[in-house]
Amino acid sequence: MNGLDALNPGGRPPPLPEAETAIALYAVMRRIREFEDRVFAYFRAGRIPGTVHQYQGQEAVAAGVCAHLRRSDYITSTHRPHGHAIAKGIPLQEMAAELFGSPAGCCRGYGGSMHMGCFERGMPPASAIVAGGVPIAVGMGLSCRMAQAGSVVACFFGDGAFNNGAFHEGANLCAIWDLPVVLVCENNFYAASTHVTLANKIPRLAERARSYGMPAETVDGNDVFAVYEAAGRAVARARAGGGPTFLECLTYRRCGHSRRDQNQYRDPSEEACWMARDPLDLAGVRLVAEGAATAEDLEAVDRAAAAEVQEALDFAEAAPRPQGEDALRHEFWEAEQ
Amino acid sequence: MTIAKALRLAIAEEMRRDPTVICIGEDIGIPGGWGGAFTVTWGLEREFGLERVRNTPISEAGLIGAAIGAALTGLRPIADFQYADFMFCAADQLINQAPKMCFMSGGQIKVPLVVRAPVGASTRGAQHAQCPEAWIVHTPGWKVAVPSTPYDAKGLLKSAVRDDNPVFIFEHKLLYGSSGARAEDNAVQVDEPVPEEDFVVPFGQAAVRRAGRDITVVATHLMIYRALQAADELAREGIELEVIDPRTLVPFDYETLCESLGRTGRLMVVEEDTRRGGWGAEIIAEIAEKHGDLLSAPPMRVATYDVPIAASPVMERFAVPDAARIRDAARKMLEV
């Protein structure tokens, strides 16, 4: 099974956005893929400390949603935040430096992989407690609504968050207060190693989300143009004061849950089906087939992404490291110096 | 003025002064309702509206998370638990999120959040009785205020609202001054005049509630009044207690405490929380480690016994320290 059977019943793919946007979506996905692949190599080589939860395979979700966000909009993220951070515009150098635990990192080395964030670009440190970011997105949405500046919040979480009380409380608050929040559920079929069907009796998570009193839909989360189209409606609705939307994006990890996970719990036929649906390949084929880009155009994008990522990692590896006693700073806010 | 009214006055003044201050909590902002479980926010919606005095469903994790998210993005929320015991429903937000946001960002974001919670045994049984200050005192990233007088309640709450960090304010059910249908059995009346004008009580400055030469007693909330009662009784025997109200547990005013110990040489901590791993143990350990030379006798804790609180008033009264236990402990301390 691939979980996609009931989607797109008419068989008509979502329309391609205009060429410039379509290529930009591809480029964001490529930057994420390149970053994650290179980071994994560095990690395996022992050059990056800690742990990593990688985003390969889910790039279309972050790219398709964040393409609609302004710098003044907010996102909340999870223990798997690199893709969201890249799509929200955090510079790769600052992200890479954060992975190395450097003061040049976007959280100055205090956050690390799982708490990636950069508030001036609308991303507080990601919450590595599953569903923990959902109530926080509620409050950010409340601020946006009270400020009446048309800002919105995209709240990213996985299928694993769906059965946590914090998700339920947060989703309900979004609904009863009509908040400008897009709840983006990245259903990658596995909460760590637990399959989504072991954790839910219903076939579509959007079914339950609808019962909070908000629009909810399930989209092919490996089709960046499908995500882009659905997220566009959800973000526009939020901006216009229409309240929250739940987007269930069906997608799949092309990597393990975390650093050394070999995915030995996955069904081979399910895995084969999804591995054949690489979001970058799907987008690239359409871009070329529909004349939005040439193969050479995409190769140039790929090369640029590879160079940018390598430059970021080179910068980060050479960036200064903190002093041990820096660990004692920032328990409390220090007044502007 | 009662503590409940002083807190309400402080909130109203801060909401007038700063349009980003909002209240968020359960059973607040209900026209015809109670103003939270203990009337502190009663009627505020009439002046400030339901947008800024925001009622929530019974969703503690949701409302604290919402307050954190709002604090990150330009508001200064005052979040409200009906009973401190309920804070454990929001434990992730209180322990993993709010106090770590500034730190995890490398000091780039502030969380100007106030959380209020009523503590204390009041014949409601084990889940509406706890004094869980120690859980928050233990967690880096929080400041903790424990007002025990109307003046301090107003001044500490105003300091909390203006602080750019998460501040937890624990308030005691039997000190609010609740009356009429909401009167509490065994309440202590602590009415006092409170200035109508703007003032703050800074954090980290203890108040000496009673001067005495023999034993320094550190106590908060209801235990201050029980210690003062014991002190009056002991004074007839020629024993003089000095009673110190720290007013904030984080930061803690060790300077005032040490100054007192320099005169008395004896330290007793009276706390309504259970004894094991309490904030009293922390204070005694800190003094023993760094200022042991000030002590002429082993320090002592008087605390609630290490059991949940029983519903029966007889058993509740036994478990929680009263003036007699403080008095007996003081006599024993002076025998050494």
**Is some CB atom of chain A closer than 8 A to the CB atom of B111?**
yes
Residue A111 has its nearest CB partner, among B106, B141, B143, at B106
Q: Which of B60, B184, B242, B316 is catalytic?
A: B60
Length of chain A: 337
pLDDT at A61 over 80: yes
Domain that holds residue A244: 19-253+263-317
Whether residue B124 lies inside any domain: the answer is yes
User: CA end-to-end span of chain A, whole Å?
Assistant: 58
pLDDT tens sequence for chain B (336 residues): 999 999 999 999 999 999 999 999 999 999 999 999 999 999 999 999 999 999 999 999 999 999 999 999 999 999 999 999 999 999 999 999 999 999 999 999 999 999 999 999 999 999 999 999 999 999 999 999 999 999 999 999 999 999 999 999 999 999 999 888 888 988 999 999 999 999 999 999 999 999 999 999 999 999 999 999 999 999 999 999 999 999 999 999 999 999 999 999 999 999 999 999 999 999 999 999 999 999 999 999 999 999 999 999 999 999 999 999 999 999 999 995
| Residue in chain B lying closest to A143 (CA) | B70
Residue A2's pLDDT is 61
pLDDT-based confidence at residue A8 (cuts at 50, 70, 90): low
Kindly report the average pLDDT of chain A as a whole number: 95
In this complex, is the C-beta atom of A67 within 8 Å of any C-beta atom belonging to chain B? no
Residues 62-91 of chain B with CB under 8 A from chain A are: 62-75, 77
Residue where the block lists tokens 């960046």? A224
CA pair distance A37, B43, nearest whole angstrom? 58
Contact A333 B140 (CB under 8 A): no
- B144 and B227: one domain? no
Look at residue A180 in the predicted model and tell me its pLDDT: 98
Q: Which residues contact A316 (CB under 8 A, 6 or more apart)?
A: A93, A96, A97, A99, A100, A102, A104, A105
Alpha carbon separation from A260 to A94, A101, A158, A196, B331 (Å, rounded): 25, 20, 20, 21, 63
Which residues of chain A are within 8 Å of residue B72 when distances are taken between CB atoms? 119, 124, 136, 139-140, 143
Confidence label for A10 from pLDDT (cuts 50, 70 and 90): low
What is the predicted pLDDT for the residue at A275? 96
Number of domains in chain B: 2
Q: What residues have CB less than 8 Å from A71, skipping those under 6 apart?
A: A89, A121, A122
Do the Cβ atoms of B165 and A332 come closer than 8 Å? yes
Domain holding B276: CATH number? Answer: 3.40.50.920
pLDDT for res A6: 62
Say whether both B250 and B165 belong to one domain: no
Mean pLDDT of A284-292: 97
Choose among B59, B71, B105: nearest Cβ to A125: B105
- The verdict on whether B60 is a catalytic residue reads yes
Is A325 inside any structural domain? no
Are B145 and B215 found together in one domain? Answer: no
Interchain CB distance below 8 Å, A135 and B73 = no
Please say whether the beta carbons of B239 and B218 come within 8 A. no
At B56, which CATH number?
3.40.50.970
Taking contacts as CB-CB distances below 8 angstroms, the residues of chain B near A110 are 103-107
**Cα distance between the two ends of chain B:** 42
Q: Which of B128, B171, B172, B271 is catalytic?
A: B128
Nearest to A36 by CA among A316, A319, A313, A321: A313
Residue A301 is part of a domain; what is its CATH number? 3.40.50.970
Closest in B60, B100, B106 to A108, CB measured: B106
pLDDT of residue A153: 98
In this structure, is residue B75 part of a structural domain?
Answer: yes
Residue B95: helix, strand or coil by DSSP?
helix
Number of structural domains found in chain A: 1
Find the domain containing B56 and state its range.
3-182
CB contacts, 8 Å: A333 with chain B? 102, 107, 110-111, 164-165
Query: Contacts for B189-197 with beta carbons within 8 Å, 24 or more apart?
Result: B190/B2, B190/B3, B190/B148, B190/B149, B190/B150, B190/B225, B191/B1, B191/B2, B191/B150, B192/B1, B192/B149, B192/B150, B192/B151, B193/B1, B194/B1, B194/B6, B194/B9, B194/B150, B194/B151, B194/B154, B195/B151, B196/B9
d(CA A234, CA A245): 6
Report the residue of chain B nearest A335, measured CA to CA. B164
> Which of B54, B59, B88 would you mutate first to test chain A, the one with the most A CBs within 10 A?
B59
Any domain includes A39: yes
Strands B21-26 and B76-80: parallel
What pLDDT, on a 0 to 100 scale, did the predictor assign at position A268? 95
Across the interface, whether the CB atoms of A330 and B106 are under 8 A apart is answered yes
Known catalytic residue: B138? no
* Residue B57 within a domain: yes
AA identity, residue B49: G
CB pair distance less than 8 Å for A330 and B102: yes
The answer to whether residue A331 neighbours chain B at the CB level (below 8 Å) is yes
Do B61 and A140 lie within an 8 Å CB cutoff? no
Q: What is the pLDDT of residue B178?
A: 87
How high is the pLDDT of residue A337? 41
Query: Rounded CA gap, A19 and A37, in Å?
Result: 27
Let me know if residue A191 belongs to a domain: yes
B131 shares its domain with B239:
no
Q: Does B93 touch chain A (CB under 8 A)?
A: yes
Kindly state whether residue B202 falls inside one of the protein's structural domains.
Answer: no
Domain membership flag for residue B187: no
Q: How confident is the model at residue A43 (pLDDT cuts 50, 70, 90)?
A: very high
Residues B47 and B168 in one domain: yes
- On whether residue B198 sits in a domain, the answer given is no
Give the closest of B69, B109, B141 to A119, CB-based: B109
Note whether A336 contacts B: Cβ–Cβ < 8 A.
no
Measured between CB atoms, does B232 come within 8 Å of chain A? Answer: no
Q: Do A132 and B71 touch (CB under 8 A)?
A: no
